[in-house]
Amino acid sequence: MAKIDASQCLRHYTAERFNQLYPVGSAFVYFSTMHVSDGVEVVTLSEAWELGLGDAVVRVSGVSGGVAISHLAPDPQRATSLENITYLESIRRAWPEHSLVHQLVARLIYAINLVENLKTTHLRELNAYETTVQNLNARIEALAAKNTEAEAQGVEKFAHETIAIGREENDDDIVYAGKQALLFARKLRSGEGGQL
């Protein structure tokens, strides 16, 4: 088995051409930089698209955001269904239309296409699910930050009132307790706060 290296990465591909050759779910080796000798096995999670300057990118498993397709090398050990279909089409065309081989290969191609469509649909649903989860996580974090801020404000209000009472009563212990409450409010805001 030959090792895949960065020299085998796709060059000068448009997003349209990439999408014609590699359906969602195609296997690649991703090189984060062209100077890295070992890539990471990935699978495409979306169709490719072009950025403003014409660079084609695609989402892949295990990497955030889009990656340049020029950093992807096709993984022949994990051939795409499209490559298999191309091979089967050549066999089908070699046999007469009414032959059993022709009909069986046509059914096999149909089955592969059906599986690919199901896989693409599943990946799209998975991507939608991941986006929903990310949005929910962002909302939860925002609510947690608001809750923490409200807690800190409540502790600060208590602290200022405690300090005022301590000064009014000339009681250093009460003032000290109020100052400790202010420190706790700061810790809450910085994420270091815990339970009282």
pLDDT at 1: 42
Is domain 6-79 annotated with CATH 2.30.30? yes
Report the predicted TM-score, pTM, of the whole model to 2 decimal places: 0.42
H or E element in which residue 94 lies: helix 81-94
Residue ranges for the chain with pLDDT beneath 70: 1-2, 35-37, 76-87, 117, 120, 193-196
Q: Where are the domains of the chain?
A: 6-79, 80-196
pLDDT at 39: 84
Integer angstrom CA distances of residue 150 from 136, 144, 147, 185, 189: 21, 10, 5, 10, 10
